[in-house]
Amino acid sequence: MSQDNLHFGIFLLTNVPEWSTEHEAIHKGIDQINLADELGFEEAWVAEHNARRYGIISSSQVMLAAVAGTTKNIRLGTGVTRLPMNHPLKLAEDFSLLDVISNGRLNFGIGKAYDLLEFQAYDIDPKERDERYQETFEIIMQGWRTGKISYKGKHFSVPGRGDQAEEIQLMPMPVQKPHPPVFIMVSQTEESLRYAAREGFAFVLGQMPTWEHMAHLVKVYREEARNAGFSYDDIDANIARSSQLKAIHVSDDRATAEQEYEKGLMWYLGILSNRAKVGLGLTELSFQDYLDKGAIILGSSDDVAQQLEDYKKATGIGGLVGWFDAGSQPQEQVLRSMTKFAQEVRPQLSARV
């Protein structure tokens, strides 16, 4: 992957507003990933939530397994796997299996989770979030790196009680060595970004309100990684692999793009907590306000290509994860936008960026 050019993914949150159904939303997502693979998108990221109409995929590994056998090249990413919500051995096994099924195309995106409803749903004390996150991650990495797990922590012990074994052999082992690439998903706190820098992991940033703030976060990552002892080359490579989530829509002209995209996105942002979650604040803003903030990239193919060239220069980030289906857009519109992006926007970027 060139460090000079942007790489692109798509993002699935699987929204179910009143004009959609759960069945429709899930199968729309599967079709979008299959098309993205055909069009040459590098990555597909699947969000994981439960008990919320703005995200109904409770198991990213199940959703990605459904497309692992129907796609060939696109990398399949978890955006995010909520580590505190799951048993670490089960995650290690499931995602090893997914890496095998996909022939080594797993991107392991991890996060701590933030929704108090989801913690209550699984009867997990949110005060334990950070500890459970760290223990879960350590167990998964031990299994992937060594093929065996022997761990005793405050919240998890593998193996558990009994006298059958003192360690558990992990089967199957992932295809990618030493393990599938880890991406730290950063939605709210700068500390998650600093953690990624200290550990030498790439990252995927959530939707931020300004490109200036995005550039600041890239600078923070660089400084933290240098302080942790990483070389400039290693840091450049990780930033080149990293991405930001961005709402994006390509149409015939800017006016048409705005008209087509507004309803779905504003449904999503009409949920108060969602505005804060994607870095857009709690104040209710108009669609035009979000456009003025640079929170959305849309317009004709030429418009979008110019915005992405400016975005790359302003932020220094390596990739963009396009949210083409914000708020459950009409599927025909989403697929057309993705196609125009691949066939009309990207060729311009290859010559420009």
Q: Is the pLDDT of residue 119 over 60?
A: yes
pTM passes above 0.85:
yes
pLDDT tens sequence across 129-152? 999 999 999 999 999 999 999 999
- Report, as an integer, the average pLDDT of 178-193: 90
DSSP 174: P
The b/e string for 226-236 (b: 16+ C-beta within 10 A; e otherwise) is: eeeebeeeebb
pLDDT tens sequence across 66-90? 999 999 999 999 999 999 999 999 9
pLDDT tens sequence across 1-58? 444 578 999 999 999 999 999 999 999 999 999 999 999 999 999 999 999 999 999 9
189 vs 337, residue with greater confidence: 337
- Report, as an integer, the average pLDDT of 79-102: 97
pLDDT of residue 2: 43
DSSP 105: -
pLDDT of residue 207: 82
- Report, as an integer, the average pLDDT of 167-185: 97
- Report, as an integer, the average pLDDT of 214-227: 95
Selection from 128, 141, 54 nearest residue 91 by Cα: 141
**Burial (CB count within 10 angstroms: exposed 0-12, middle 13-18, buried 19+), residue 166:** exposed
14 vs 114, residue with greater confidence: 14
Q: Which of 160-169, 285-294, 307-316 has the highest mean pLDDT?
A: 160-169
pLDDT of residue 188: 63
What integer best gives the mean pLDDT of the chain?
93
pLDDT tens sequence across 278-302? 555 656 788 998 888 888 999 999 9
- Report, as an integer, the average pLDDT of 196-218: 89
Identify the band that residue 272 occupies on the pLDDT scale cut at 50, 70 and 90: low
Calculate what percentage of the chain has a pLDDT beyond 90. Answer: 85
Calculate what percentage of the chain has a pLDDT beyond 70. Answer: 94
Instruction: At 97, list the tokens.
Output: 């299996």
Q: What is the DSSP string of 282-345?
A: SS---HHHHHHTT-EEEESHHHHHHHHHHHHHHH--SEEEEETTTT---HHHHHHHHHHIIIII
d(CA 75, CA 102) in angstroms, rounded, equals 9
- Report, as an integer, the average pLDDT of 222-239: 97
